Structure 1
Amino acid sequence: MFRFSRIFTLTALLVSTTATANTALEQAVNNPLRTAEFTQRDQYRNPVATLNFFEVTPQSTVVEISPGAGWYTEILAPMLAADGLYYAAHFPATATGFGQRSRAAFMEKLAANPQYSKVQVTEFAPTPGISIAPAGSADVVLTFRNLHNWYMAGGEDALLTAFSHFYTALKPGGVLGIVEHRLPEAKLSSDWSRSGYMPQSLTIKLAEKASFTFESSSEINANPKDTADHPSGVWTLPPSLRLGEQDREKYLAIGESDRMTLKFRKPLN
C-alpha cells in the first residue's frame, strides 16, 4: 500500500509540475507586450508546444543561440525572469555589417523595456574561443532556424564547432533543442547547400559526432505544403517573400517552411 501511495504521489506531482510549466508557457506566449507582427507567426512556430517539447520550464537556465530580433526573447525572458535564467548568445560585440546592426538593435530592444532587465547577453559565432554561458550551467540550449547560416559559411566544421559550444554550456543531462528548415532526404543529391534548408539526417549525424545523444523528433513545426524547391530557396516563402509580388499569394498559401524539431541530450557521464 505504501509503495502504491508513493508512486501515486510522485505521478501526481509530475502531472502538476507539467501543468504548471504549460500554464507558464501559455501565459508567456499570450503576453500582451509581444510585438504584434511576431504573434502573427505563432501559427507556424508553435511556441508553446515547441518549448514544452524542449522541456523549458520557468525554473530553467536557457541559452538561446542567435536570437536575432528577439522573437523568442519576448517569450523566454519574461517567463524566466523570476526563477530561471535567460542567456541571449547574440553576434559578438566585434561583429561588423549585418551582425553589428543586428546586435545593436537587439540591445536597444532590451534597454527599452524593463521586462528584459535580467537578460544576460553573451556572444556566439561558430568559431573557437566563444563562451555562450558558463560551462555546465545550462538546462537547455535552443537554436531556431540558424544551422543553414553556419553551414553556408563554414560547412560541417562550423556546425561541429557550434555543437561543441552547446555541449560545453549544458549540464550533464541537459537538452539541445533544434528547429531548422528541413530538406527532404530525396533531395540530398541536388544542389541544396545554399537553399536555406538542411537535411535532418546530416543534422543528427553531426550532433551525435559532437557527443550528443539524439533523443526524439517532433512534427510540431512540419508543413507538408512546403516542397523545398523554390526559386530563391527558403527565402521565397514568408516571412521573407524574396520574389516580392511574383506568385505572392501562392507562397503565402504555403506558409512558412517545413521544419524539423529535434531534441538531443548531453549524456550524464
Structure 2
Amino acid sequence: MSMSSFKMNVYLIKVIILWLLFSLTFKVEAESEETIKASISHSQRLKTDFIKDEYRKPQEILTFFDISPESTVLDIFAGSGYYSEILSRVVGPKGKVIIHNDAHFLKYYGKDLSERLKEGERLSNTTRIDISLNCLELKENSVDTILLVLGYHDFYYVMENAEKINVTTVLAKFKKFLKPNGIVGIIDHEAKSGAPRDTGHTLHRIDPQIVKSEMTKAGFSFDGELNVLRNTTDDKSKKIWNVLNGSTSRFVYRFRNN
C-alpha cells in the first residue's frame, strides 16, 4: 500500500468515526427529549402542575439542562416538588432525584411536598433531604446535574434568628457533589443591572451578573443561556409578588463543572 493510500484510509476512518459519534449523540439527545416530553404529559402528574407548564416551559428548560435517563439530579430548594416530579420520571428507575429544602422553604411548601410524595408511595426514585444548605452533604462526584430554580436570590434572603447562607461554602459543595462536566442549571427572577445582592431579600430578585460572577469565581464555566422565560415588559423594581404569576423576567443559565 502506498503512503498516499494509507493516509486516505486513515482519513476515511476518522470521517466514519466522527459520523458515528455525531449520529449517536443526536440519537441520545432525541431520545432524551422524547422522554422529557412523555414525563411532562404523564397522566399521574398533578392538575396544578399542568397549569404551571405554560409559564415554566419545562420541555425547553430540561432539554437545555441536558436532563437524561439514569442520571442523578439534585433539586435545590425544590419547594413543593414541581420539577422534582418531572425529573423523577425523566431519570427513570435507574436514576435518582434528591429533593432538598431548608426550614424556610418547608414552612411554605412542606405540606404540599408531603402530599405529592405521599410518604414514599409516589416517586420511589426520589430521596427527600430537609436540611440547611450550609449543612448539606453528599458523596463526592455523585451528582450529574444540580437544579436551582427560583432560589439563588434566597442565598441573600435573611431570616430573623436564622443562619445566613454561606455562598462560598455552598458553591464549593456544589462543585464537590458534581461529576466532572456536570451541570448546574439556574433560573431566577431578574433584577435590574447593577442591583445589590440584598435585592434578593427586598424584591426576591437578583442581578444575573452576580450569579455569573459568583459561579465562575467558584470554578464553574458559563455554558450558555436560554431566553424563553425573559419578559421585556417586567418592571424589575417591583417585588415578584406584585407581578402576575409567571410574568417576571427570568434568566436561565447553564454552568459546567470543569
TM-score normalised according to structure 1 size: 0.81
> What is the percent sequence identity of the aligned residues?
22
Relative to structure 1, is the Cα distance of residues 109 and 191 closer, same or farther in structure 2, using a 3 angstrom cutoff?
closer
Maintained 8 Å contact 1:67/1:90: yes
- List runs of 5+ in structure 1 lacking aligned partners: 240-254
| Matching residue of 2:6 | none
| Matching residue of 2:192 | 184
| Matching residue of 1:243 | none
After the TM superposition, list the runs of 4 or more consecutive aligned residues in structure 1 that deviate by more than 4 angstroms.
154-157
| Matching residue of 1:69 | 80
Q: Name the larger-Rg structure.
A: 2
| Matching residue of 1:236 | 242
Which of 98, 102, 119 does residue 126 from structure 2 map onto? Answer: 119
Cα distance in 1 for partners of 2:31, 2:16 equals 22
Relative to structure 1, is the Cα distance of residues 124 and 112 closer, same or farther in structure 2, using a 3 angstrom cutoff?
closer
Task: Give the length in aligned residue pairs.
Answer: 243
| Matching residue of 1:142 | 147
The Cα shift of 1:150 comes to 2.1
The Cα shift of 1:205 comes to 1.0
Relative to structure 1, is the Cα distance of residues 191 and 100 closer, same or farther in structure 2, using a 3 angstrom cutoff?
closer
Cα distance in 2 for partners of 1:110, 1:134 equals 24
Relative to structure 1, is the Cα distance of residues 52 and 19 closer, same or farther in structure 2, using a 3 angstrom cutoff?
same
| Matching residue of 1:265 | 256
The Cα shift of 1:74 comes to 2.0
The Cα shift of 1:86 comes to 1.0
Code of the residue aligned with 1:78 in structure 2: it is: R
Equivalences for 1:1-269 in 2 at 5 Å?
Answer: 1-91=12-102, 95=103, 99-100=106-107, 102-111=109-118, 114-127=121-134, 129-131=135-137, 133-153=138-158, 158-185=166-193, 188=195, 192-193=199-200, 194-230=202-238, 233-239=239-245, 255-267=246-258
Maintained 8 Å contact 1:126/1:161: no
1:160-195: CA deviations, max 9, x gaps? Answer: 33322221211121111100001131x627983411
TM-score normalised according to structure 2 size: 0.85
Code of the residue aligned with 2:228 in structure 1: it is: I
Cα distance in 2 for partners of 1:121, 1:98 equals 13
CA RMSD of superposed structures (Å):
2.5
- List runs of 5+ in structure 2 lacking aligned partners: 1-11
Cα distance in 2 for partners of 1:156, 1:209 equals 20
